[in-house]
Amino acid sequence: MPIKPIRSQADLALHGAPPAYAEALHVGRPNICDREAFLQRMGQVLDNQWLTNNGPLVQEFEQRIAERLGVKHCVAMCNGTIALEIAIRALGFSGEVIVPSWTFIATAHALYWQDITPVFADIDPVTHNLDPAAVRRMITPRTSGIIGVHLWGRAAPADELQAIADEHGLCLMFDAAHAFDSTYRGQPIGRFGRCAVFSFHATKAFNTMEGGAVTTDDDELAEAMRLMRNFGFAGYDNVIHPGTNGKMIEACAAMGLANLDGFDGVVATNRRNHAAYREAFAGVPGITLLEYDPAERNSHHYAVIEVDASCPVSRDHIIDALHAENILVRKYFWPGCHRMKPYRDLFPHAGLLLPHSEAVASRVIVLPNGAAVDGAVVSTIRDVIVALISKGPTP
């Protein structure tokens, strides 16, 4: 795709219908695998005259996801955040729950929204995932659980976190929003902890436009979450549980079923692009591409570079230069949840306990990936960065 330079800073105001929106190269461009298959599925939805409330496509979708991820239950939801909230409630979390700060804000919000305090533990600066030793340090008598996040689809240390949870009588679950189809020690990621929560948002490797799911092998937990996502109804006129509206609609399941058939192709494209990024950045001073363990499955959806102190130019100057070329890279998840207002107000000094989270937050750039990216795009991105570096150090 030809990239047109951005016309003004206002073009970056994504939520204000910016004129350059369609022309820009975005991180998070959705994978739309097979338009015809989707439209055919949508025809089915309209013919069925069944648009939501546990329809046939949602049921088929849940079954296919459970099979693919090797779990007993997949409970589909309207998005990953509601799925987190419902899982947290069904597991009975309360008081304090330990989470990384280096994650999307939804991980923390899903707790705080329910009057549970997210307590931020530091990460391992290499894996970007929770550091078990840091988790231990944050346990108090009020701690009821741990939420590990499989960041960038790379597995959090599930065995070590489970050992801590067992030792302290805590409940462990995972935010697997990035980790559809990933493995941990060769096992599908949805089977670790009491449950795993996936996001199928438009920006994810596998998407249902909006959507999410909780996977678990626990029959009772799955049953409780099914009730909770549908107001607690156990049949006509019979509410047996408090609940909310967390249902996935048929149109989203239609997108999911179409995209599921194309998912392996998405992964192949991502892997190809990731290899091209590796080659492009080899030898560029101070730039390191985040790698995926070849022994594990991973969608390679996130093309992440870290800009360290040996790079002659700053991370933010690189971002400005790429944005000026209409390549809308992101600095996910800067500045970290603990520095966002609600949590900064709660824990003004949290940063002192999160040195690795703060350091990683200052280094990361997420680059575009997926079908919109090819060798030419990778070369353009490299050339912009190398040209900036060759001009010399940032003033």
202 touching ligand T4K, by CB under 6 A: yes
29 touching ligand T4K, by CB under 6 A: yes
107 touching ligand T4K, by CB under 6 A: yes
368 touching ligand T4K, by CB under 6 A: no
Residue with tokens 């009491």: 194
For the chain, how big is the Rg over CA atoms in Å? 21
Please list the alpha-helical segments (H only) found in the chain.
35-48, 56-69, 80-90, 105-112, 132-137, 158-168, 219-228, 250-281, 315-324, 341-346, 355-363, 375-390
- Closer of 134 and 255 to ligand T4K (Cβ): 255
Strand 73-77 and strand 212-216: pairing?
Answer: antiparallel
Span of 2-10, 62-70, 200-208, 219-227 interacting with ligand T4K by CB under 6 A: 200-208
Residue 197 β-bridge partners:
175, 214
208 touching ligand T4K, by CB under 6 A: no
- Closer of 27 and 227 to ligand T4K (Cβ): 27
Chain Cα centroid distance, residue 273: 19
- Closer of 29 and 89 to ligand T4K (Cβ): 29
* Per-residue buried b or exposed e for 250-277, using 16+ beta carbons within 10 Å of the residue's own CB: bbbbbbbbbbbebbeebbebbebbbebb
- In whole angstroms, the minimum distance from the beta carbon of 207 to ligand T4K comes to 9
Q: Report yes or no: 156 and 193 within 8 Å, Cβ to Cβ.
A: no
- In whole angstroms, the minimum distance from the beta carbon of 208 to ligand T4K comes to 9
- In whole angstroms, the minimum distance from the beta carbon of 82 to ligand T4K comes to 7
Residue with tokens 């049921």: 59
Residue with tokens 């996502």: 229
128 touching ligand T4K, by CB under 6 A: no
Shortest Cβ contact with ligand T4K: which residue? 28
- In whole angstroms, the minimum distance from the beta carbon of 45 to ligand T4K comes to 20
Span of 76-84, 131-139, 162-170, 243-251 interacting with ligand T4K by CB under 6 A: 76-84
| Closest C-alpha to 87, from 249, 253, 199 | 199
- Closer of 81 and 129 to ligand T4K (Cβ): 81
- Closer of 103 and 182 to ligand T4K (Cβ): 103
Structure tokens at 112: 């705080």
Q: In what order do the strands lie in the sheet with 303-307?
A: 287-289, 303-307, 364-367
Q: Report yes or no: 54 and 77 within 8 Å, Cβ to Cβ.
A: no
149 touching ligand T4K, by CB under 6 A: yes
175 touching ligand T4K, by CB under 6 A: yes
Span of 4-12, 25-33, 298-306, 374-382 interacting with ligand T4K by CB under 6 A: 25-33
Helix (H) or strand (E) holding 328: strand 327-328
Span of 199-207, 231-239, 249-257, 346-354 interacting with ligand T4K by CB under 6 A: 199-207
Residue type, 110: A
Query: What Cα–Cα distance (Å) separates residue 67 from each residue in 63, 84, 334?
Result: 6, 21, 35
326 touching ligand T4K, by CB under 6 A: no
- In whole angstroms, the minimum distance from the beta carbon of 81 to ligand T4K comes to 3
- In whole angstroms, the minimum distance from the beta carbon of 177 to ligand T4K comes to 3
Q: Report yes or no: 258 and 39 within 8 Å, Cβ to Cβ.
A: no
106 touching ligand T4K, by CB under 6 A: yes
The site that binds ligand T4K (CB under 6 A) totals a number of residues, namely 24
Residues 327 and 347: their CA atoms lie apart, in Å, by: 35
182 touching ligand T4K, by CB under 6 A: no
Residues 342 and 304: their CA atoms lie apart, in Å, by: 27
152 touching ligand T4K, by CB under 6 A: no
Instruction: Give residues in contact with ligand T4K (CB under 6 A).
Output: 14, 26-30, 79-81, 103-104, 106-107, 149, 175, 177-178, 199, 201-203, 212, 328, 332
